[in-house]
Amino acid sequence: MRHDKSLFERVRENEQLAEKFYKVELKILSTLKFADFFDTLLKEISDVFQVPFVWFSLIADTEVAAMLQQCRGECSERQRINLIDRHQLQRLIGDDLSVQLVNDQLHRYLPLLPKDQHYAVRSIAVAPITLDGIVIGTLNQADVDGQRFAPGLNTVLLERLALKVAICLSNVTAHEKLRSLACLDPLTGLLNRRVLGQALQREFDRACRYETALSVVFIDLNDFKQVNDNHGHDAGDLLLQYLADCLQRYSRTTDLVARYAGDEFVLVLPQTDGENAGLLMERLDKELSRQGMLYGDALVAVSLSYGVASLPDGDVSSPEQMLKKADQALYRHKRRSKVHSVSRHESAGLNAD
């Protein structure tokens, strides 16, 4: 009788475990947004299974890693996603796609751990994750209990979860690609003009509601036509991409960077007043002017004109007015720059005489 009771308890435990896996699967299957997928997956496993350490190791040169970088500000669980070298991961898991349970010589698995995170673990489950049949990383679970993921335990449910994660990841990456085509500028990868309008409206409403600062910067490349004429349109495209990269590097995760049209760009800076927005642009302009852009054997000179509009401002009652005010400030800046440039040339001519 005692044996039957023990068997019944094990069956019941297995049923409860299967129900938990089913709950996690339903949650991730209903997720379509790429950034939300990782947040949901890691949080659900932690909460539902009470696993103290759950993280994702992602091969750095994969398309998924690049997409994750693009939505860096949207993924709240980014600290639990570790980028790993492809060859390092290959040495750890080989060609075996089955779940590995380990509670000995764990130092070998240190490359899987997220940077700047301290995980004091004694057992680990490593589940390879594929995308379209190619390994792109591993889903990892670990515990301070050395027997939680001990070798020899049944991994059927973990294998099933890894398969569902792969299917869901394929869905969300496909969905993200479609979203990117609709939302991003194809040349620079920045937000396009249509999405900028929606995002600016959201930030404008938030700044008005909470009475916080908001700045919009309208940016224009000086002498862009001359770059195209002198070096060709490939150089012009490269310059636009170069500026886009610089703008993203100088921006925070809460800022918005968009290509407006041609060589015009827009920065939306929440909780930033006009003075600090101007200081940011001065630093960026100095760096670009000092370094230029190398194109083949030629060093292409790079300089910007920009205009700033900020809230609070009693003359601005809509995001469209705010953008127009920044645009007007841009052209005032551009006219001043041309006047100064002419003055310098005239001075140089007089000195030469």
Q: CB under 8 Å to 1, separation ≥6 — which residues? A: none
Question: Which CATH superfamily, name and number, covers 2-183?
Answer: GAF domain (3.30.450.40)
pTM of the model: 0.58
What would the mean pLDDT of 102-113 be, rounded to a whole number? 92
What would the mean pLDDT of 330-352 be, rounded to a whole number? 59
**What is the Cα–Cα distance from 327 to 222, expressed in whole angstroms?**
15
Q: Does position 337 have pLDDT exceeding 60, yes or no?
A: yes
CB distance 266 to 190 below 8 Å: no
Residue 61: φ, ψ to 5°: -95, 25
CB distance 342 to 348 below 8 Å: no
Fold of 193-352: Alpha-Beta Plaits (3.30.70)
**What is the Cα–Cα distance from 91 to 75, expressed in whole angstroms?**
29
Look at residue 318 in the predicted model and tell me its pLDDT: 95
What would the mean pLDDT of 97-113 be, rounded to a whole number? 93
Domain ranges of the chain: 2-183, 193-352
Look at residue 344 in the predicted model and tell me its pLDDT: 41
Look at residue 78 in the predicted model and tell me its pLDDT: 77
Look at residue 101 in the predicted model and tell me its pLDDT: 97
Report CA torsion sign: 344, 345, 350, 351. Answer: positive
CB distance 129 to 136 below 8 Å: yes
**What is the Cα–Cα distance from 289 to 304, expressed in whole angstroms?**
8
The whole-chain average pLDDT of the chain stands at 87
Look at residue 10 in the predicted model and tell me its pLDDT: 63
What would the mean pLDDT of 94-99 be, rounded to a whole number? 90
